[in-house]
Amino acid sequence: MRRPHNLKKLLKLVWRQRQVLFYACLCLNLLRVALWLLPFKVVRQHLATMATKWERHQSQQSVSVNAIVWSVTVASCYTPHGAKCLAKALTTQLLLTRYGYTHQLHIGVAMDGAFEAHAWIEYEDRVIMGGLQDLSRFQSLSRAGVTL
């Protein structure tokens, strides 16, 4: 049983890390439910509204990009039935916006016999969330001029 060990790790985190991890858990699970219940377009509209409000009230708290990525990754490990790439990418996007980081969300498709979709986040021209060894198979819709 690993729970007590993980609880000790959680308690060793500084307050800021715990706060970001809490936001990641909350956002990830809310987004999973929203993506399940609502059309993607509606979810994106609500995220855009939140991002606009957060940009006006950007946090002065310094949280690194690595801390955000770590928090979303850990939160996804403790999400019932796991979290898909879209929920993780949208959660990462939301937190990056919250802490004032400019980034790019990509949703891409691959058609190697079967249709596949994948979502990832780039920050400073490198993939920070949703990286795959064969990511080049996916054509980013935003780079192809498609707006979501």
Q: What is the C-alpha R_g of the chain? A: 16
Determine the pLDDT at residue 61.
Answer: 64
Residue 111 binned pLDDT confidence (cut-offs 50, 70, 90): confident
Question: Is 103's pLDDT higher than 90?
Answer: yes
Q: In terms of residue numbers, what domain contains 121?
A: 3-140
Q: Identify whether 124 is part of a domain.
A: yes
Determine the pLDDT at residue 140.
Answer: 92
Q: Identify whether 147 is part of a domain.
A: no
Q: Identify whether 34 is part of a domain.
A: yes
Determine the pLDDT at residue 2.
Answer: 47
Q: Identify whether 125 is part of a domain.
A: yes
Q: Identify whether 31 is part of a domain.
A: yes
Checking DSSP bridges between strand 139-140 and strand 126-129, what pairing results, if any?
Answer: unpaired
Q: What are phi and psi of 129, to 5 degrees?
A: -145, 130
Say which residue the tokens 């708290």 belong to. 61
Per the structure, the count of domains in the chain is 1
Q: Identify whether 148 is part of a domain.
A: no
Q: Identify whether 92 is part of a domain.
A: yes
What is the mean pLDDT of the segment spanning 31-53?
91
